[in-house]
Amino acid sequence: MVIRQVLLVGNPLLREKSETVTDFGPGLQPTLEDLRNTLTNHQNITGSGRGIAAPQIGYLKRVVRIQAPDFTSFLVNPEIVEKSDELFDVWDSCFSLKGAVFVNIKRHRKIRVDYQDENGEKHSREFADGMSELLQHELDHLDGVLCTDLLTDNKGIAMREEWMKRFRTPGIGM
């Protein structure tokens, strides 16, 4: 089982735009397996983390892996096709920030995402609240966008220790 190193902010690969997946054959397998194993390993070690995007482990392909309590899937070539006007506040962080820095940003309350699964089958699914912000975060990675880019208020940034003391709301993990 291969656990890949998660690239950290500063690594230029995290700023690249990932490529659309057109080949659903064996060539895609290492990306899928490494994403699943790396996320599972991170969850086992830290007890947190619900998603990871392929560029975070150095594959510039439009693939995201989600492992959340009510939804576990690969999303290949995901695209946000609808988003609510309503925004909400989120304290966000990232594996690529080692979960050490948190930023207070706005995300759309609801989104609809069209995507393919690992076999190329098409799906469309609506996400709300915590899942909506998670998907927006992971999909941004495919375009080289990091959560820190969305910071608009200079009071909306905190190191983990300060965030735990001041801002943490029960139930909100990474």
- What residue ranges bind Zn ion (CB under 5 A)? 94
CB of 64 to Zn ion, least distance (A): 10
Q: H or E element: which one contains 159?
A: strand 157-159
> What's the min distance (Å) between Cβ of 112 and Zn ion?
21
Output 3 or 7, the one with its CB closest to Zn ion: 7
Instruction: Extract the runs of DSSP E, i.e. beta strands, from 17-86.
Output: 51-53, 63-68, 71-83
Query: Which of 94/111 has CB closer to Zn ion?
Result: 94
- 60/120 with CB nearer Zn ion: 60
Catalytic sites, residue numbers:
138
Q: How far separated are the first and last CA of the chain, in Å rounded?
A: 25
| Minimum separation from the CB atom of position 37 to Zn ion (A) | 17
* Nearest 10 degrees: Cα torsion 62, 89, 97, 43: -70
DSSP H helical ranges for 11-155: 29-46, 129-141
Q: Work out how close the CB of 140 gets to Zn ion at its nearest, in angstroms, rounded to a whole number.
A: 8
Beta strands at 110-116 and 157-159: parallel, antiparallel or unpaired: unpaired
What CA–CA distance (Å, rounded) separates 69 from 48? 12
Q: How far apart are CA 152 and CA 149, in angstroms?
A: 8
Residue 100 vs 124, nearer CB to Zn ion: 100
Residue least distant from Zn ion (Cβ): 94
